[in-house]
Amino acid sequence: MNRIYLQESRSDRPRLKNRRSTYINFPPTPNPGAGNGFTLVELLVVIAIIALLLAILVPSLTRARHAAYASVCLNNVRRISNAAQMYITEHIYFPPHRMKFKWPSGPIFVNKFGRSRPRWQWFFHEGVGPVIDPTPYVLYPGQTFDDDQTMLMTNDYFICPAFDHPNWDARDIRNGSYGYNYQYLGNIQEITEDGLEIYVNYPVKVDRIEKPDKTIIIADGRGSTIMDPSGQQTLHGEHSYKLDPPRLPISLRARYFGDRKKPTLAEQHTPAEDRHLGLVCVSFLDGHADKMTREEMGYVVDYSRNEDGWIVANQGTNRLWNGRETDEPRPWPR
């Protein structure tokens, strides 16, 4: 109880020998903060509820983010495929994976943007623009630039938003996002036949493709096999701008996969990468695009090493790669 002490005024009271005080009792003043805290049990219950909600929401948000990435990526490979159709309509031939020289052992090739030894991305500029803005590098007519000046792409159509590898840059034109079905559409690796330097499979005329709707042109590229210090295979490697089919196209005299400097076919292989929750964004020569598993693309995947699986080089089927929906080997007329 709060007690208030009242004392009578001297002018209002009679003089008494024994002065007496009067006390009035009031109810206690309420304390706004008293009794409103959470108990330990209540706090634990709230924390448990929040943790449960996070466990439910985080995977959903992750899936939603990857779905958005896949949608952008699918649009990218579709746009590139459409740009390829414009190029093919005009030139009748498919471009090579990289045009280093005008012909074997000839002068260095330079495209209209001033890029010397351009990779396939430079040929598919119709409707999407050049893969790298040449403005900073071509300051006067006749000036050229190459990998020594820049390898970083500036055109978002050639960059996959789901590309997430700490040691690699999605903008790298050589080791970045997308690969091209070069083995069947334009392989300019050089081999020697009858004493002459020739290209493995270039030029490739359009009429060699019988089923464009069943022929892959662009997909998410993984690059070649690289071993980390612990001896494990990494998820991404070099030369991902080259997209290798499941099997080596021996019908085309191919002797190497994409990274020909590696000693074995398994290490050379530059297949597709399933960076969209187990799916690959793929576009076809007729212009349509789809998300596919690696197995649907013809690869054999070994899941005994890890849960993500690893593509087994030189196994599987090339039915969706060679333009005829047939298996290797089948020699093509040259």
pLDDT at residue 35, as a whole number: 56
pLDDT at residue 190, as a whole number: 86
Asked, for residue 221, whether it belongs to a domain, the answer is: yes
pTM of the model: 0.81
Which residue numbers in the chain have pLDDT < 70?
1-36, 60-61, 227-234, 329-334
Asked, for residue 39, whether it belongs to a domain, the answer is: no
pLDDT, tens digit, for every residue of 188-229? Answer: 998 888 888 889 999 999 999 999 999 999 999 999 987 655
The DSSP 8-state label assigned to residue 173 in this structure reads T
Asked, for residue 21, whether it belongs to a domain, the answer is: no
The DSSP 8-state label assigned to residue 10 in this structure reads T
Show the domain range for 97. Answer: 44-312
pLDDT at residue 235, as a whole number: 76
Distance CA 99, CA 115 (A): 10
Q: Does residue 309 come out as left (phi exceeding 0), alpha (psi in the -120 to 50 range) or beta? A: left
Asked, for residue 24, whether it belongs to a domain, the answer is: no
Distance CA 102, CA 155 (A): 26
Cβ neighbours, 10 Å, residue 219: 26
Asked, for residue 36, whether it belongs to a domain, the answer is: no
Distance CA 137, CA 145 (A): 6
> Which of helix, strand or coil describes residue 207?
helix
Asked, for residue 304, whether it belongs to a domain, the answer is: yes
Q: What is the DSSP string of 76-121?
A: HHHHHHHHHHHHHHHHSBPPPSB--BSSTT-PBPB-TTSBBS-BGG
Strand residues in the chain grouped as ranges (E): 2-6, 22-26, 178-180, 187-193, 196-201, 216-220, 280-284, 289-292, 300-302, 310-312
Q: Which residues pair with 110 in a beta bridge?
A: 116
Type of residue at 60: S
Asked, for residue 258, whether it belongs to a domain, the answer is: yes
Specify the number of domains making up the chain.
1
Asked, for residue 328, whether it belongs to a domain, the answer is: no
